[in-house]
Amino acid sequence: MKDFKAFLLRGNLVDLAVAVVIGLAFGAVVTALVGDLITPLIAAIAGKPDFSALTFTIHHSQFKYGDFIDALLSFITIAAAVFFIVIKPVNALMARRQKDEPTTRPCPYCLSEIPNAASVCASCTRDVQPASA
């Protein structure tokens, strides 16, 4: 029982549970954004908010291609919302952070660029002190 308790309280499992809960909440927010704001905007432009009634029939078999169009539009708008609301800002933040923290430094002997953690210069093969973090 002690091992099971340690497993449940391990940081990874708790972090994963928090991520799932936050992910579900964020999914609800994005779904509401798409359903309540973006889809009506598309409907205002295209003139038709719901394509589910679109069908065609071949030999008494009905094909509901309108449902597929609705699902496809929903997927594309959700993906676009996530991309522009989450991915783009995070990438911009990470790019700014990387500019602030250089990953290379000049070798004190030959002045070629070497990684901060390097202890030997690849160009002149001299021993160098690793950069302090």
- How does pLDDT run along the chain (133 residues), one tens digit per residue? 788 777 767 767 777 887 888 888 888 888 888 778 877 887 788 777 677 788 899 999 999 888 888 888 878 888 888 888 888 998 888 888 767 677 889 999 998 999 988 899 988 999 998 877 5
CATH number at residue 89: 1.10.1200.120
Instruction: Give the domain extent around 79.
Output: 2-101
Shared-domain flag, residues 41 and 19:
yes
Which tokens in the block code for residue 12? Answer: 């990874």
Angle at 90 between CA 89 and CA 95, to 5 degrees: 100
Give how far Cα 132 sits from Cα of 13, 48, 104, 105, 129, Å. Answer: 33, 61, 12, 11, 9
Shared-domain flag, residues 78 and 125:
no
CA proximity to 52, closest of 37, 64, 38, 39: 64
Predicted pLDDT at 95: 82
Shared-domain flag, residues 34 and 96:
yes
Shared-domain flag, residues 11 and 39:
yes
* Number of domains making up the chain: 2
CA proximity to 30, closest of 66, 84, 105: 84
For the entire predicted model, the pTM comes to 0.50
Predicted pLDDT at 49: 67
